[in-house]
Every structure is written in C-alpha cells, then in structure tokens.
C-alpha cells in the first residue's frame, strides 16, 4: 500500500453485513404483489443504482407504483434495520483508525441512499471517518461503470491510480478496475458464489479487514 493515498469503500456487503436484509425486503415487497423472488434476482440488481433497481422491479414484476413510491417503500422497510440492527464487518473500526493514523483519505461509494447510509454510519459512530461520500445516483451509472469511483477520487483530490477500492461483488470490482484503481474484494456470504471470480479479478481477496492490520 506504499503508493495508496486514498481508500474507497463500498457499503453494503463490504463495511456492513446488510445484504441479507435486502433479500428479506425483496421477499416481503414482492410477496405483497403475489410474486416469489427469482433465484437470480440479487445477481441482476445488486450493482444497480437505487432508481435502476426500482425501474427493474416495475418492469419485471408489472408494478403500477411510481418509481419514487417504490423507493420510499424500500426506505421505510429498511430504515429500522440501518438505524439499529445491521452490524459492521469484523475489523472495520480498527482498519479505519489505521488509515486515519497513516494519513490516508477515506471515501464511501455506494448504490444505497443518503438517509440509509447516514443512519448506519452514525449508529456505528463511524460517519466522521469519511472525507467524501458518493452515491450512484450522483453519476447516474451503476457500479459496473467507473464513474462513481472516478468521482470519489476527484472529491478526495487523489489520482485514480493512487486509490484502493474495497468491494464485494464482481460487477463492482470490474467498474473499479475500469477506473484504473487497485481493488480488494471482501468476503460476504451473499456473494460467496462469486468467490472464484472475485479472486481472479481482484488484486487481493480478504475474509476480514483484520488481515490488513
């Protein structure tokens, strides 16, 4: 990490153990319309922006609700979890402290919304660690594109090649690689089926942030 001047973190599945919550929300939401969750749903949507995900649901499941209403419903279903119950991954706080102590800038790049990310970061008292926060809504591109990572680097005032990105899914790793950044993959049980591809595509694969301390 000698040349690394900034670290860009994904949120869900990387810093926090939340992907199971979204599977649960998808099940509850679709059940209300009489649908079961398709086996490949998470793989289809996990890298998309929130708006793109709502559009996907609207088209795929013939939902009449407006896009904004779909997103609002998801927010309401998720907020309690993000405010109280979702846990940090192992080693997150010590690693954030390690980065700060070494003068490394820290950013968040997420497909999630500002209210939900703020809820969980503040609940765990780590919001203050982040020098910049960027969502896919700002760039109108999903995480398989480099845009969110490039904007994160720009906000930090750091060149892309001097950034290290942490992600947990293949599509996002590809996007960060397209940005010309070093990419470490983080184990998450919800992307375990992608483990072999993540190891191949990433510069390093870790089970826990404790490995980096």
Average pLDDT over residues 44-56: 90
Mean pLDDT of 143-164: 98
Q: Please say if the pLDDT value at position 48 is more than 90.
A: no
Enter the CATH code of domain 6-18+87-212.
Answer: 3.40.50.1000
84: which residues sit within 8 A by CB, 6+ positions away? 123
* Res. 179: pLDDT tops 70: yes
Provide the sign of the torsion angle of the four alpha carbons 57, 60, 62, 67, taken in this order. positive
Q: How confident is residue 19, by pLDDT bands cut at 50, 70 and 90?
A: confident
Residue tagged 């993959």 (tokens): 185
Choose between 78 and 2: higher pLDDT: 78
Which has more confidence, 104 or 42?
Answer: 104
Residue 43 is predicted with a pLDDT of 84
Q: What is the dihedral of CA 35, 37, 43, 44, to 10 degrees?
A: 0
Q: Indicate the average pLDDT of the chain.
A: 96
From CA 161, how far away is CA 123, in angstroms rounded? 32
Query: Residue 103: is it exposed, middle or buried by C-beta count within 10 angstroms (0-12/13-18/19+)?
Result: exposed
Given a cut of 70, is residue 28 above it in pLDDT? yes
Closest to 17 measured CA to CA, from 193, 188, 211: 188
Domain residue ranges in the chain: 6-18+87-212, 19-85
Token pair of 72 as six digits? 């609002």
> Cα separation of 211 and 213, whole Å?
6
pLDDT over 90 for what percent of the chain? 90
Asked if residue 1 has pLDDT above 90, the reply is no
């Amino acid at each position: 990490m000698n040349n690394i001047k900034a670290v860009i973190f994904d949120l869900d599945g990387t810093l926090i153990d939340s992907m199971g919550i979204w599977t649960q929300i998808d099940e509850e939401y679709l059940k209300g319309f009489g649908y079961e969750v398709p086996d490949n749903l998470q793989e289809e949507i996990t890298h998309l922006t929130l708006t793109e995900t709502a559009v996907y649901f609207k088209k795929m499941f013939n939902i009449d609700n407006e896009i904004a209403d779909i997103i609002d419903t998801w927010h309401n279903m998720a907020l309690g979890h993000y405010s109280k119950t979702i846990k940090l991954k192992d080693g997150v706080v010590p690693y954030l402290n390690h980065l700060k102590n070494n003068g490394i800038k820290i950013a968040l790049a997420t497909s999630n919304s500002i209210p939900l990310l703020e809820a969980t970061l503040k609940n765990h008292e780590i919001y203050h660690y982040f020098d910049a926060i960027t969502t896919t809504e700002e760039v109108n591109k999903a995480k398989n594109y480099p845009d969110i990572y490039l904007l994160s680097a720009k906000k930090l005032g750091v060149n892309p090649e001097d950034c290290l990105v942490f992600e947990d899914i293949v599509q996002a790793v590809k996007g960060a690689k397209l940005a010309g950044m070093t990419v470490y993959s983080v184990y998450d049980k919800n992307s375990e089926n992608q483990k072999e591809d993540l190891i191949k595509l990433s510069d390093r694969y870790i089970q826990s942030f404790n490995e980096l301390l």
